[in-house]
Amino acid sequence: MNERPVGKKRVRFEPDNIEVMAETGANLLRVAQDAGVYIASSCGGNAVCGTCKVLIKEGNVATTGLDNHLSPEEIRQGYRHACSSHVLTDLTVFIPVESRLERTALTREDADAFEISDGVMGFIAEMGRNQEASPATAIESEMAPADVALEPPRTRPPLAKFFLKMTPPTLEDNVSDLSRILRELKSLYNLINLTVDFDVVKKLPETLRAANWEVTVTTIVTAISPSRAARHRPRVINIEPGDTRDRYYSLAFDIGTTSICGQLLDLNQRKVMAQYTDYNRQIIYGQDVITRIAFSQKTGGLDKLQQAVVSTINGIIRVLLSQCRIALEDVGHFVVAGNTTMIQILFGVSPKYIRLAPYVPTVNFMPPVKAKSLGIEAADHVYIHSLPIVASYIGADIVSGVLASGMHEKETLTLYIDIGTNGQIVLGNSEWMVTAACSAGPAFEGGGITNGMIASGGAIESFEINKETGAPVVRTVNGERPKGICGSGLISIIAGLFKVGIIGQDGKFDMEKNNIRLREGQDGPEYVIAWAPETQTGRDIVITEIDTGNLLRAKAAMYAGFQTLAKSVGVDGRDLEQVIIAGNFGHFIDPEEAITIGLLPDLPVERFTFIGNGSLNGVRLNSYYTDIIDDARKVATMMTNFELSDNTDFTNNYIASLFLPHTQASEFPSVMKWLNGMKVRK
Amino acid sequence: MNERPVGKKRVRFEPDNIEVMAETGANLLRVAQDAGVYIASSCGGNAVCGTCKVLIKEGNVATTGLDNHLSPEEIRQGYRHACSSHVLTDLTVFIPVESRLERTALTREDADAFEISDGVMGFIAEMGRNQEASPATAIESEMAPADVALEPPRTRPPLAKFFLKMTPPTLEDNVSDLSRILRELKSLYNLINLTVDFDVVKKLPETLRAANWEVTVTTIVTAISPSRAARHRPRVINIEPGDTRDRYYSLAFDIGTTSICGQLLDLNQRKVMAQYTDYNRQIIYGQDVITRIAFSQKTGGLDKLQQAVVSTINGIIRVLLSQCRIALEDVGHFVVAGNTTMIQILFGVSPKYIRLAPYVPTVNFMPPVKAKSLGIEAADHVYIHSLPIVASYIGADIVSGVLASGMHEKETLTLYIDIGTNGQIVLGNSEWMVTAACSAGPAFEGGGITNGMIASGGAIESFEINKETGAPVVRTVNGERPKGICGSGLISIIAGLFKVGIIGQDGKFDMEKNNIRLREGQDGPEYVIAWAPETQTGRDIVITEIDTGNLLRAKAAMYAGFQTLAKSVGVDGRDLEQVIIAGNFGHFIDPEEAITIGLLPDLPVERFTFIGNGSLNGVRLNSYYTDIIDDARKVATMMTNFELSDNTDFTNNYIASLFLPHTQASEFPSVMKWLNGMKVRK
């Protein structure tokens, strides 16, 4: 104990047994974050949400702020909120299961990565891109990776590598070093009108001579210029000694509000080498974009948020590189997508006006910038590229997802929907697209729900009433004992309870029902999903009428958004030929249940497709094929965004949607048919 | 004395009375340089040239290196070479006149600036550029500066400012901030396909709102892209609050090996606001490019050279801004020219291969880079642009000078010649151009000449033998008492002595001549130009046979270069319609005298034009008119460079030129006619 620095205290986190030194007075939530211990914190440490509950087993903390989410009993036991606790003495802090954010929750996605990747490759093949390769190239590619530099410019990756074996200069041919390279690029690869980064020039003389005039030139094309010709004019970003064409990698990232998913891509084989997902370290500053934007307005807030996302990205890069034993210098490209707030923060652009009417983003096409200048651990020559942004709440993630879905290439009338705290809707086809965003609130991500949680281990993700016994049957993430309810579980529970009449069309519990699980709780009527002895928390897992109301409002916002958008372009929901559901959350919902509660339009289930992390898939396509850059630009430009916030039609539709499935029975004929049939049976 | 830091000594420089503290052991040449005391140092402090002679009046120095340029008497008196002296004790150091570099030597150029500027304007008018302005604009321009943004893109400055007064966004029109600006630029100014610097985006949201949507957008076009369309695609580099069109300035610099000249330009009025010249602080590392290149190869050498030129530039910028009371942020553009070595060093690119066969420069078109990234004191958004380079010894200064001369626009067969240590020759017209460089040695700049000096106060710049008395009449720079001989003086002296037969066609003194000034000196035959009592140094100013030989070799190199180049393209020297002499040195020579010694071709004097600092004039044109960028590219591309170093024709011509005026009498008919006439008269 004697070696301890003055003013420092020892803080031990259980059950992880991670011990760190912290300054006296340090905020416990920040201490945990710095120690790599993730604690749920929906409100961003503002002592509002009450999700960051921890148990102080040993030592004392100074408590600030309100603790109205803790019962007197919990306070007596030593429970505190991490966000309002400050280190006074050495501490032993226990993080209860329900407060834990575990990285394992994210691994489900990673496991899917390769399968998704194959799917994308299939889709690309379908688009006819591979048909452009000459037969010779196609045969070669079975033996070794094809030389992508020889592919037509529009189908090769935007990052291209060209190997040059040059004749050294003589007195008769003593053009400048750069001219020699440009001359060779023109003669061998028909590359003209290149621009060249200044940094390339600086190291050129030594590189060329040390490499005996055999070098690999790396070029990029970017989506940033509005002129197609300019867009396809390559920029020389690196000149390396020797032939480095076999070391040809790029990074594709989806920057989510909650989690960040990165893939390391081999551009020769156009395949995913590795994928890794981690929580966005911005989480400690707030769980949703609105809280983050608010935090960005504090002194130093934007910098802190930017550093948090960059440190998450850097952590993921390190994992990916070490998994594949690939050197940082061999990664030449970095493409990202994310919602508008995430992209602006990552690039260090204040997101302030995203949440203020009239909701103006700063740019649609973010100019590429050196990744290193943002603090990202990348080689000096690497630029970071973002997919285009459409509006404050229709971000690069949506453009990317739409690209990956291929809806911009087909005449099929398609609804693309990303369900979440900020729901996004795209309607259209290859000819036109309209978009709208609706603030659904955090219910779909377990926020504001008594026993809500994100979809990590132990989260109830589906629910069914056993018709024989009337008892609920639940399925949890990873098959663990129940710990809470995630978004898909919540939909499943409400659909299930609605089907058996425990919840009525108005979302209220029918307390007349003679059901042992139905009871009057602290917050009014509630239904017990799992009894205390069955759960990880040792407490009953319940759903309350308040929870039901929250979900009702969330689903109403999503559906009213779709309804308003469809009406504004004269589309009848029944004419939809395809519904694409994107997002990790969407990946796990049951469309039939979603229709039952009136979240998704009442269509035959075969019209629904789930694409998972569509945003990441689009980023990967952008890394693989140059012409996807044009597509991205086209998609972003053709999207017409409708602002719903002050739209009276939306308000009316929203109110009409606060009902199961909907006040307008005609919107949900199949649900109504079943409902009426059930009533008749009674 | 007690407050003196440990290890520091007080060093006082006379006659300037500048006192500084220096580390014990510090090199005296560096101490002087840091104190702003300029000491001549041809060899760059390598103890070779002996020009940095100083008198240690008080205190002691440790002397290293050879002092074979000092007589035992001088050593006894306390003379030392600054480059080989190290501070041991407090010192009082006297800088003798002949060792001083004075800034006043440079002011002659500055005084000419405005006249030159007018000349350039006349030239531009001649080129018909101003005819494109509408009559209305022309009338307006008499009252107020015309709005250059409204000029046709090809004649306005490459740096353009556009004022926008925008309607704030509404829910109905909430495009991104940047889209709003681009939309307005398109609608008001027909600007399309712009690229935008990332840095602009970062500060955009706050700038727009703080300025109530009234902003000035600054764009540049650059010469760097080989595609004309791409070249004329503007790049948005700055967006400022309010209307800043009246604050519209740029910097034009000529980076000379010896001196650096900067001009501050008002782009609205297209006029020079101020000019300032200073010695290139690289001088302490060597007086010519070869010494500098050698120094750049030492550890940290390139960095030191780069910092030296940048600190000189920064000093000049400070003077220019404070003279005109203009703020740094209002200067939006920075264009430079200079020889290849100077440009590569300024941009931090090693000049190593410039002096190694086959003499390859790194680039012809240096990519623009942020001025600040090179350490230049400029606003964040300012790029530094260099004119194009042709070859290792045909630099941006020659391209710039040719542009300023207008020879690329006329059919007139023109010889463009820049006389100096590195002489450059351009031959051609608007259809074709060939170039060659020849290493003439330092004689034209007073180097290697017993009493040689640069053209600063007291330098003998012209010489004549009074026909009555036979006594020499000299004119000195600033009319001071003679201190030494500069290049133009040397030509004048040799022409004069040749004309009276004191020097023969072989360059030897005719010791038979009965002349009191002709004597046998330490280094052989010499002629006394000025007696000790008349001079500032208190010593005789002489010209020796060795000096004459040095000048002969220098002029032979220049003339042989021209001869070889002319012959290689089948041009007869007599067909030259115009000879343009560039360079500050060239500015002061007498063409008749230069013809007499065989330096310039034997043509009627009316065909000779002196353009002074042509390089700076070209830089200014590049700052004023966008289409000059295309011209610069065209000129640089059309120039075919001939390497003379291993050319046997050149060697033969060189040997034939080591004669006054030339061994081939047919080359100099008018001189020979006069010479033969004189012989006949005898």
What distance in Å separates the CA atoms of residue A294 and residue A291, rounded to the nearest whole number? Answer: 5
DSSP collapsed to 3 states, B410-476: CCCCEEEEECCCEEEEEEECCCCEEEEEEECCHHHHCCCCCCECCCCCCEEEEEEECCCCCCEEEEE
Q: Assign A124 a pLDDT band (cuts: 50, 70, 90).
A: very low
What distance in Å separates the CA atoms of residue B205 and residue B180, rounded to the nearest whole number? Answer: 12
Decide if pLDDT at A646 tops 90. no
A224 touching B (Cβ < 8 Å): yes
Least confident of A111-120, A586-595, B49-58, B412-421: A111-120
Q: Assign A43 a pLDDT band (cuts: 50, 70, 90).
A: low
Contacts of A235 (CB under 8 A, 6+ apart): A194, A195, A196, A197, A219, A220, A221, A222
Decide if pLDDT at A600 tops 60. yes
Mean pLDDT of chain A, nearest integer: 87
- Kindly determine whether residue A364 and residue B229, on different chains, have CB atoms separated by under 8 Å: no
What distance in Å separates the CA atoms of residue B621 and residue B608, rounded to the nearest whole number? Answer: 22
Backbone phi, then psi, for A21, in 5-degree steps?
-100, 140
Size of interface A-B (CB pairs under 8 A): 162
A70-95 pLDDT tens trace = 888 888 888 888 888 889 999 999 88
Chain A partners within 8 Å of B196 (Cβ): 224, 363, 367
One-letter amino acid for residue B391 of the chain = A
Chain A partners within 8 Å of B350 (Cβ): 205-206
**Å from A254 to nearest chain B CA?**
21
Q: What is the DSSP letter of B354?
A: G
Contacts of B563 (CB under 8 A, 6+ apart): B573, B653, B657, B667
| pLDDT, mean of residues A657-674 | 94
> Which pair of structure tokens corresponds to residue A103?
């990285």
B179 touching A (Cβ < 8 Å): yes
Task: Report the residue of A166, A296, A362 to disrupt the B interface, i.e. the one with the largest count of B CBs within 10 Å.
Answer: A362
A170-215 pLDDT tens trace = 999 999 999 999 999 999 999 988 889 999 999 999 999 999 999 9
Q: Assign B151 a pLDDT band (cuts: 50, 70, 90).
A: confident
| Bridge partners for A418 per DSSP | A424, A582
- Kindly determine whether residue A193 and residue B366, on different chains, have CB atoms separated by under 8 Å: no
Interface of A with B in 231-270 (CB under 8 A): 233
| Bridge partners for A462 per DSSP | A475
Decide if pLDDT at B558 tops 80. yes
Residues B383-402 as b/e (b if ≥16 CB within 10 A, e otherwise) read bbbbbbbbbbbbbbbbbbbb
What distance in Å separates the CA atoms of residue B202 and residue A366, rounded to the nearest whole number? Answer: 10
Q: Assign B469 a pLDDT band (cuts: 50, 70, 90).
A: confident
Decide if pLDDT at A105 tops 80. no
What pLDDT, on a 0 to 100 scale, did the predictor assign at position B123? 36
| pLDDT, mean of residues A439-450 | 86
- Kindly determine whether residue A367 and residue B195, on different chains, have CB atoms separated by under 8 Å: yes
What pLDDT, on a 0 to 100 scale, did the predictor assign at position B43? 65
Decide if pLDDT at A599 tops 60. yes
Q: What percent of chain A has pLDDT over 70?
A: 88
The more confidently predicted of residues B677 and B528 is: B528
- Kindly determine whether residue B359 and residue A170, on different chains, have CB atoms separated by under 8 Å: no
Residue B12 · residue B93 · CB < 8 Å: yes
Least confident of A163-167, A282-286, A657-661: A282-286
Cα torsion B53, B57, B60, B65 to 10°: value is 10
Decide if pLDDT at A312 tops 50. yes
Nearest CA in chain A to B356: A171
What pLDDT, on a 0 to 100 scale, did the predictor assign at position A44? 61
Decide if pLDDT at B142 tops 50. no
B296 touching A (Cβ < 8 Å): no
Chain A partners within 8 Å of B353 (Cβ): 177, 205, 209
- Kindly determine whether residue A233 and residue B233, on different chains, have CB atoms separated by under 8 Å: no
Of B196, B363, B368, the CB nearest to A178: B363
| Beta strand pairing call for B639-642 and B433-439 | parallel
What pLDDT, on a 0 to 100 scale, did the predictor assign at position B97? 72
What distance in Å separates the CA atoms of residue B197 and residue B194, rounded to the nearest whole number? Answer: 10
**Å from B389 to nearest chain A CA?**
9
Decide if pLDDT at B1 tops 60. no
- Kindly determine whether residue B174 and residue A347, on different chains, have CB atoms separated by under 8 Å: no
**Å from A182 to nearest chain B CA?**
11
What distance in Å separates the CA atoms of residue B580 and residue B406, rounded to the nearest whole number? Answer: 10
What distance in Å separates the CA atoms of residue B407 and residue B582, rounded to the nearest whole number? Answer: 13
**How many other C-beta atoms can be found within 10 angstroms of the C-beta atom of residue A601?**
22
The 3-state DSSP class for residue B377 equals: coil
| pLDDT, mean of residues B141-164 | 76
Residue A461 · residue A486 · CB < 8 Å: yes
- CA torsion sign for A268, A269, A270, A272 is negative
Least confident of A56-70, A398-412, B212-226, B486-500: A56-70
What pLDDT, on a 0 to 100 scale, did the predictor assign at position A463? 95
- Kindly determine whether residue B176 and residue A362, on different chains, have CB atoms separated by under 8 Å: yes
What pLDDT, on a 0 to 100 scale, did the predictor assign at position B134? 33
Chain A partners within 8 Å of B175 (Cβ): 360, 364
- Kindly determine whether residue B176 and residue A646, on different chains, have CB atoms separated by under 8 Å: no
Backbone phi, then psi, for B611, in 5-degree steps?
-110, 10
- Kindly determine whether residue B193 and residue A350, on different chains, have CB atoms separated by under 8 Å: no
Residue A132 · residue A155 · CB < 8 Å: yes
Chain A partners within 8 Å of B224 (Cβ): 195-196
Of A169, A230, A350, the CB nearest to B233: A230
What distance in Å separates the CA atoms of residue A396 and residue A400, rounded to the nearest whole number? Answer: 6
Cα torsion A504, A510, A516, A519 to 10°: value is 110
B421-448 pLDDT tens trace = 889 999 999 999 999 999 888 888 888 8
What distance in Å separates the CA atoms of residue B55 and residue B75, rounded to the nearest whole number? Answer: 9
Chain A partners within 8 Å of B171 (Cβ): 357-359, 643, 645-646
| pLDDT, mean of residues B565-575 | 94
Decide if pLDDT at A480 tops 80. yes
| Bridge partners for B439 per DSSP | B422
Task: Report the residue of A201, A340, A394 to disrupt the B interface, i.e. the one with the largest count of B CBs within 10 Å.
Answer: A201
Chain A partners within 8 Å of B178 (Cβ): 362-365
**Å from B577 to nearest chain A CA?**
30
- Kindly determine whether residue A204 and residue B175, on different chains, have CB atoms separated by under 8 Å: no
What pLDDT, on a 0 to 100 scale, did the predictor assign at position B206? 96
Chain B partners within 8 Å of A204 (Cβ): 349, 362-363
- Interface confidence, given as ipTM, is 0.83
What pLDDT, on a 0 to 100 scale, did the predictor assign at position B102? 60
- Kindly determine whether residue B362 and residue A178, on different chains, have CB atoms separated by under 8 Å: yes
Interface of A with B in 381-420 (CB under 8 A): 389, 391-392
What pLDDT, on a 0 to 100 scale, did the predictor assign at position B232? 73
| Beta strand pairing call for B608-612 and B578-582 | parallel
A166 touching B (Cβ < 8 Å): no
- Kindly determine whether residue B204 and residue A364, on different chains, have CB atoms separated by under 8 Å: no
The per-residue DSSP string of A529-581 comes to EE-GGGSSSSS-EEEEHHHHHHHHHHHHHHHHHHHHHHHHTT--GGG--EEEE
Of the candidates A494, A492, A528, the one whose C-alpha atom is nearest the C-alpha of residue A508 is: A494
Of the candidates B258, B181, B168, B164, the one whose C-alpha atom is nearest the C-alpha of residue B215 is: B164
Residue A10 · residue A2 · CB < 8 Å: no
Task: Report the residue of A197, A306, A360 to disrupt the B interface, i.e. the one with the largest count of B CBs within 10 Å.
Answer: A360
Q: Assign B508 a pLDDT band (cuts: 50, 70, 90).
A: very high
Q: Assign B672 a pLDDT band (cuts: 50, 70, 90).
A: very high
Three-point CA angle B378, B384, B390, nearest 5°:
155
Decide if pLDDT at B285 tops 70. yes
Decide if pLDDT at B67 tops 50. yes
Q: How far is CA B491 from CA B474, B548, B580, B637, in A?
A: 13, 9, 18, 35
Decide if pLDDT at A1 tops 50. no
**Å from B643 to nearest chain A CA?**
7
Decide if pLDDT at A117 tops 50. no
| pLDDT, mean of residues B220-247 | 84
What distance in Å separates the CA atoms of residue A178 and residue A200, rounded to the nearest whole number? Answer: 9
Chain B partners within 8 Å of A361 (Cβ): 176-177
A361 touching B (Cβ < 8 Å): yes
Decide if pLDDT at B184 tops 80. yes
What pLDDT, on a 0 to 100 scale, did the predictor assign at position A101? 66
Q: Assign A445 a pLDDT band (cuts: 50, 70, 90).
A: confident
Q: What is the DSSP letter of B255?
A: E
B26-41 pLDDT tens trace = 888 888 877 777 776 6
Residue with tokens 């970003």: A237
Decide if pLDDT at B72 tops 50. yes
Decide if pLDDT at B144 tops 60. no
What distance in Å separates the CA atoms of residue B118 and residue A517, rounded to the nearest whole number? Answer: 96
What pLDDT, on a 0 to 100 scale, did the predictor assign at position A297? 96
What pLDDT, on a 0 to 100 scale, did the predictor assign at position B68? 67
B337-352 pLDDT tens trace = 999 999 999 999 999 9
Q: Assign A488 a pLDDT band (cuts: 50, 70, 90).
A: very high
What distance in Å separates the CA atoms of residue B252 and residue B222, rounded to the nearest whole number? Answer: 15
- Kindly determine whether residue B224 and residue A195, on different chains, have CB atoms separated by under 8 Å: yes
Three-point CA angle B105, B110, B112, nearest 5°:
110
Of the candidates B269, B272, B263, B268, the one whose C-alpha atom is nearest the C-alpha of residue B243 is: B268
What distance in Å separates the CA atoms of residue A625 and residue A156, rounded to the nearest whole number? Answer: 5
> Which pair of structure tokens corresponds to residue B542?
């002489």
What distance in Å separates the CA atoms of residue B263 and residue A343, rounded to the nearest whole number? Answer: 42
